[in-house]
């Protein structure tokens, strides 16, 4: 694995429990990565957008938890846009077992992977 890379965790505010589960899993696996996120989403505030862009682009990659909540999650959509603009590596993982809508903002035709350690560790090892 890489040195001490920083990974941004992107999630919809309504999916905080999935973010917590992911962090618990990452800590259990004792990765050498550090993980940050923006738990307060104020996507209507220009200062929040600027802070978010700075935090996202300072990271080495992003893990985005994708659920049906993304449809109304302007903050998460902005986080994803920042990562795409920065051309950073992104792992999209399905945050729950609920069937996802056919068209999700900021996902497009990108693959959404199953949430399992194999997919996550493979992504981390590529950084």
Q: Which fold has domain 6-126?
A: Rossmann fold (3.40.50)
Helix (H, G, I), strand (E, B) or coil at 123: helix
pTM of the model: 0.92
* Domain range list for the chain: 6-126
How far is 65 from 84, CA to CA, in rounded Å? 15
Phi and psi of 95, rounded to 5°? -80, -20
Residue 103, CB-side half-sphere exposure with 13 Å CA sphere? 0
| R_g of the chain, CA atoms, integer Å | 14
Phi and psi of 66, rounded to 5°? -105, 120
Residue 34 and residue 4 in contact, taking contact as beta carbons nearer than 8 Å: yes
pLDDT tens, residue order, the chain (127 aa): 445 689 999 999 999 999 999 999 999 988 889 999 998 888 889 999 999 999 999 999 999 999 999 999 999 999 999 999 999 999 999 988 788 877 887 888 899 999 999 999 999 999 9
């Amino acid at each position: 694995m890489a040195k001490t890379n920083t990974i941004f965790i992107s999630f919809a505010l309504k999916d905080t429990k999935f973010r917590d589960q992911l962090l618990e899993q990452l800590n259990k696996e004792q990765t050498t990565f550090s993980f940050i996120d923006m738990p307060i989403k104020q996507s209507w505030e220009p200062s929040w957008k600027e802070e978010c862009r700075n935090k996202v682009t300072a990271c080495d990659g992003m893990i985005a938890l994708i659920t049906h909540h993304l449809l109304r999650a302007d903050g998460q959509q902005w986080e994803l846009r920042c990562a795409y603009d920065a051309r950073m590596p992104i792992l999209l993982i399905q945050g729950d077992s609920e069937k996802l809508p056919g068209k999700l903002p900021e996902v497009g035709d990108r693959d959404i992977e199953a949430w399992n350690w194999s997919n996550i560790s493979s992504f981390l090892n590529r950084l």
